[in-house]
């Protein structure tokens, strides 16, 4: 999709969760959380990943880091297939890929000091030679994310949500990663704090030439931070395009509907809302053909039979729809 | 862990012990029968002597006067006199207490050392074969009362196999290593019975507590740092999961002491549990009062220890 070799490339990534039942705990059903996702991320860019709750965004992010084992597919990172790494190699890879979680309250161990939380990975990967160097690095990291060096002696419960998210960012930065998966990093924060954290993430990206996979369900946040945006529906990517292009010229009917729901910060402007009928279908038995055809305003008979593939619509703009190219 | 925190906890323990002793004393005073009960039926004791004795010990005074008298004497180290054993209550208790504390302590230690690894292993592999076996055994373990497993072990290991003594003796005729060996041999069965009973309940508790913690985000955070799985479990999961377990162990201790009374009877252990039973049967009020008060002191003490361990495990409590 891009001319440079991408930093990260996911190919036909799938994750099925099995549901066991009956007396002998046989597999009775499968949740198709991620159902064949393919995308590239180039070094230094931000790819936004949007979609409704339960569409498999977070699962995709965690599969990339192998925090959840993918069922099939490949994840190429710096020329290595991450899905084949094990033991030592996998732990070494964790230095280059980090994650920032949605919930700043659940993602910090309440029994460890901030210094311990941030410094632990440095010790594990042998990045600090002695106590003194470790202290310096942690203090420096805290300053980088806008906290005070003295905060390292405190415990997470002594901080506010925004501060805790900064601690989470400092923790992810500690090992100098190349890619950071931001799993809805601002969804749990107040709007004013959201802006601060987003700005911090952008500053850090410039300073350390980071690459982000930015998962969110808030389209305006994604538009602001992303270079390109991928839209997911029921475990599949339905559209992927440069951010501006996607917002100005959405091709997929699902993307259109999503964008029409974004509030405009001007009460005089009116926009035609596309209200989708019904609910997201059950991911245990997703509809055949195009997953979206049950709610699609323009669906045709073939949509319920053939699976649409991601196809190029214009430069860098890919759509999975039989009718819109 | 600040010193004022511990000091405050100790100070809080004093009024609770006073309250407990008041309730105990009142209940015992209201209960029928006293050490001189048998004198009524004994024709060799003239009524005047009986009344004189009762007056001498102030048994007909109001309850609260008797309580204050008991309390001030107790605080000065005079715990009363056992009419049955013909010795001071404090000496009697001090003679019996070490055995009970040793047996219960060893049993608790056994329960914890068995339950924590098994519970953690079971939780890290939920619904695996190991987990199923551990769960089933734990269920069987705490369903069987100690008097049953105790008798079963005696039948197998003492009567059938003749490997272990089934009466616990306080007067082991040996010195040095031999003495320790004999103590060890006769403690095996009571400690196993009590320890496994406790451990069985604890396994289930540790398992569910670990299961709660293991799916939290900060455990995923730890993994994403590149920490190896064993270290993730010990440093991030177990330490957090142990907090509710500490509460359980502390709150169960009164139950353990209760269970120990039964176990002491079965194995004829000369601890304070069997002392309490015989004192109750003989209406030996000063001993009953002394032993129950020691029991409550132990329970309060272990709660205090639990609070301190709690503070060590959870910094959010320690610094308050």
Strand partners, B196: none
**Nearest Cβ partner for A155 among B218, B220, B315:** B315
φ, ψ (nearest 5 deg) of residue B87: -155, 170
Task: State yes or no: pLDDT of B319 exceeds 60.
Answer: no
Is A113 part of any domain? no
User: Average per-residue pLDDT in chain A?
Assistant: 89
B46-99 pLDDT tens trace: 777 777 777 777 777 788 888 888 888 888 888 888 777 788 888 888 888 888
Give me the pLDDT at residue A97, please: 92
Contact B315, A155 (CB under 8 A): yes
Q: Work out the end-to-end distance of chain A between its first and last CA atoms, rounded to an integer number of angstroms.
A: 16
pLDDT of residue A230: 95
Residue percentage of chain A with pLDDT more than 90: 54
At A140 the pLDDT is: 93
Instruction: Please report the ipTM that was assigned to this predicted complex.
Output: 0.80
Q: Give the model's pLDDT for residue B269.
A: 84
CA A224 to chain centre: 15
Strands A80-81 and A72-77: antiparallel
Residues of A near B (Cβ–Cβ under 8 Å) read: 25, 62, 65, 67, 91-95, 98-99, 101, 103, 106-111, 113, 120-121, 124-125, 155, 157, 168, 171, 175
Q: Does residue A135 lie in a domain region?
A: no
Q: What pLDDT was estimated at residue B88?
A: 85
Task: Determine how β-strand A311-314 pairs with β-strand A317-319.
Answer: antiparallel
Over 80: is that where the pLDDT of A269 sits?
A: no
**Cβ contact A233:A55 at 8 Å:** yes
Among the partner-chain residues B217, B225, B316, the one whose CB lies closest to the CB of A120 is B225
Of residues A108, A110, A120, nearest to B227 (C-beta): A120
Q: How many domains does chain A have?
A: 1
Residue A167 falls within a domain, yes or no?
no
- pLDDT at A3 exceeding the cut of 70: no
Residue A290 lies in a domain: yes
3-state secondary structure of A16: strand
Q: Is residue A1 part of a domain?
A: no
pLDDT of residue B187: 85
d(CA B280, CA B84): 11
pLDDT at B42 over 80: no
A191-245 pLDDT, tens digit each:
888 999 999 999 999 999 999 999 998 888 898 999 999 999 999 999 999 999 9
pLDDT at B320: 47
Q: How far is B225 from chain A (nearest CA, A)?
A: 5
> How does pLDDT run across A289-320, given as a tens digit for each residue?
899 999 888 888 889 888 998 888 888 899 99
Residue A294's closest CA among A303, A306, A285? Answer: A303
pLDDT tens readout for residues B250-284:
777 777 777 778 888 888 888 888 888 888 888 88
- Looking at the complex, report in whole angstroms how far the Cα of residue B219 sits from the nearest Cα belonging to chain A: 8
Partners of B217 on chain A (C-beta within 8 Å) are 101, 103, 106-107
- Residue B118 clears pLDDT 60, i.e. is over it: yes
In tens, the pLDDT along A25-63 reads: 777 788 888 988 999 999 999 999 998 888 889 999 999
Residue with tokens 């799916």: B215
CA dihedral angle for residue A71, residue A73, residue A77, residue A82, rounded to 10 degrees: 40
pLDDT of residue A254: 93
Residue B183 vs residue A142, higher pLDDT? A142
- Regarding predicted confidence, which is higher, A5 or B41? A5
Query: Residue A48's domain spans which residues?
Result: 8-96+177-319
Tell me which CATH code domain B96-318 carries. 1.10.3720.10
- Helix (H) / strand (E) containing B176: helix B176-214
**Token output for B311:** 């503070």
Kindly state the average pLDDT of the residues B117-134: 91
Query: Phi and psi at residue B281, in whole multiples of 5°?
Result: -65, -30
Q: What percent of chain B clears pLDDT 90, i.e. is strictly above it? A: 14
Mean pLDDT computed over B205-209: 92
Instruction: Answer yes or no: is A44 within a domain.
Output: yes
Whether A288 maps to a domain, the answer reads yes
pLDDT of residue A1: 47
pLDDT of residue A139: 94
Rounded distance, CA A322 to CA B4, Å?
A: 73
pLDDT (0 to 100) of residue B49: 77
B216 contacts chain A (CB < 8 A): yes
b/e per residue B87-108 (b: at least 16 CB within 10 A): ebbbebbeebbebbeebbebbb
Flag whether pLDDT at A2 surpasses 90: no
CB within 8 Å of A265: residues ≥ 6 apart: none
Interval A144-191: pLDDT, tens: 999 999 999 999 999 999 999 999 999 999 999 999 999 999 988 888
- DSSP for A23-56 reads TTTEEEEEEEEEEEEEEEE-TT-EEEEE--TTSS
Three-class SS state of B214: helix
Q: How far away is chain A from the Cα of B139, in angstroms, using its nearest Cα?
A: 20
- Among residues 226-255 of chain B, which lie with CB inside 8 Å of chain A? 226-228, 236, 239-240
Q: Is residue A21 part of a domain?
A: yes
Which pLDDT score is estimated for B36? 67
Nearest one of B202, B217, B57, B234 to B135, comparing CA atoms: B202
CA atoms of B198 and B250, how far apart (whole Å): 12
> Tell me, what CATH number does A22's domain have?
3.40.50.300
How far is the C-alpha of A96 from the C-alpha of A211, rounded, in Å?
11
> Which pLDDT value is given to residue A9?
93
pLDDT higher than 90, residue B150: no
Structure tokens at B10: 């100790």
Binning pLDDT at 50, 70 and 90, where does residue B35 land?
Answer: low
Is residue A58 within 8 A of residue A187, CB to CB? The reply is no
Enter the pTM of the model. 0.79
Query: Does the beta carbon of B50 lie under 8 angstroms from any beta carbon of chain A?
Result: no
| DSSP string for A202-255 | HHHHHHHT-EEEEEES-HHHHHHH-SEEEEEETTEEEEEEEHHHHHHS--SHHH
Residue A221, burial from CB neighbour count under 10 angstroms (0-12, 13-18, 19+) = buried
């Amino acid at each position: 999709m891009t001319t440079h070799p991408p930093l990260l490339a996911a190919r036909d990534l799938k994750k099925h969760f099995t549901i066991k039942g009956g007396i002998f705990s046989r597999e009775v059903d499968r949740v198709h959380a991620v159902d064949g996702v393919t995308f590239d991320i180039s070094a230094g860019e931000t790819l936004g990943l949007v979609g409704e709750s339960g569409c498999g965004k977070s699962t995709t992010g965690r599969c990339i880091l192998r925090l959840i084992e993918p069922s099939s597919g490949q994840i190429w990172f710096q020329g290595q297939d991450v899905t084949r790494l094990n033991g030592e190699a996998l732990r070494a890879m964790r230095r280059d890929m980090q994650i920032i979680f949605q919930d700043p309250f659940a993602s910090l161990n309440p029994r460890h000091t901030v210094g311990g939380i941030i410094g632990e990975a440095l010790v594990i990967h042998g990045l600090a030679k002695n106590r003194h160097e470790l202290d310096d690095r942690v203090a420096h990291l805290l300053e980088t994310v806008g906290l005070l060096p003295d905060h390292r002696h405190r415990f997470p419960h002594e901080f506010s949500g925004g501060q805790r998210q900064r601690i989470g960012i400092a923790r992810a930065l500690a090992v100098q990663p190349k890619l950071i998966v931001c799993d809805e990093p601002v969804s749990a924060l107040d709007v004013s704090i959201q802006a601060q954290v987003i700005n911090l993430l952008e500053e850090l990206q410039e300073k350390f030439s980071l690459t982000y996979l930015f998962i969110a369900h808030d389209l305006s946040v994604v538009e602001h931070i992303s270079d390109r945006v991928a839209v997911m529906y029921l475990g599949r990517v339905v559209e992927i395009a440069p951010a501006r292009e996607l917002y100005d010229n959405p091709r997929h009917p699902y993307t259109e509907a999503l964008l029409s729901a974004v509030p405009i910060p001007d009460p005089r402007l009116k926009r035609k809302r596309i209200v989708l009928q019904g609910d997201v279908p059950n991911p245990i038995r997703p509809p055949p053909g195009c997953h979206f055809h049950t709610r699609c305003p323009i669906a045709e008979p073939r949509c319920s039979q053939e699976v649409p593939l991601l196809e190029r619509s214009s430069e860098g703009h890919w759509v999975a729809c039989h009718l819109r190219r | 862990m600040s010193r004022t925190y511990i000091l405050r906890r100790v100070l809080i323990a004093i009024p609770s012990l006073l309250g407990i002793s008041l309730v105990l004393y009142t209940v015992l005073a209201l209960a029928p029968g006293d050490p001189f009960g048998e004198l009524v039926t004994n024709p060799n004791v003239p009524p005047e002597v009986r009344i004189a004795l009762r007056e001498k010990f102030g048994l007909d005074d109001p309850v609260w006067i008797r309580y204050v008298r008991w309390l001030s004497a107790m605080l000065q180290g005079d715990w009363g006199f056992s009419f049955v054993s013909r010795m001071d209550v404090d000496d009697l208790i001090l003679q019996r207490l070490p055995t009970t504390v040793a047996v219960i302590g060893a049993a608790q230690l056994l329960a914890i050392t068995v339950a924590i690894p098994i519970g953690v292993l079971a939780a890290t592999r939920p619904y695996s074969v190991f987990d199923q076996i551990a769960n089933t055994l734990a269920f069987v373990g705490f369903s069987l009362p100690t008097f049953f497993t105790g008798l079963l072990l005696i039948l197998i290991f003492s009567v059938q196999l003749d490997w272990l003594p089934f009466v616990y003796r306080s007067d082991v005729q040996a010195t040095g290593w031999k003495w320790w060996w004999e103590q060890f041999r006769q403690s095996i069965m009571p400690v196993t019975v009590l320890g496994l009973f406790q451990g069985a309940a604890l396994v289930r508790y540790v398992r569910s507590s670990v299961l709660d913690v293991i799916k939290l985000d900060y455990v995923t955070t730890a993994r994403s740092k590149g920490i190896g799985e064993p270290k993730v479990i010990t440093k991030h999961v177990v330490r957090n999961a142990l907090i509710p377990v500490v509460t359980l162990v502390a709150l169960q201790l009164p139950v353990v002491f209760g269970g120990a009374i039964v176990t002491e009877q079965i194995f004829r252990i000369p601890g304070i549990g069997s002392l309490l039973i015989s004192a109750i049967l003989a209406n030996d009020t000063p001993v009953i009062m002394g032993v129950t008060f020691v029991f409550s002191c132990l329970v309060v003490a272990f709660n205090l220890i639990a609070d301190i361990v709690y503070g060590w495990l959870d910094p959010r409590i320690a610094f308050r």
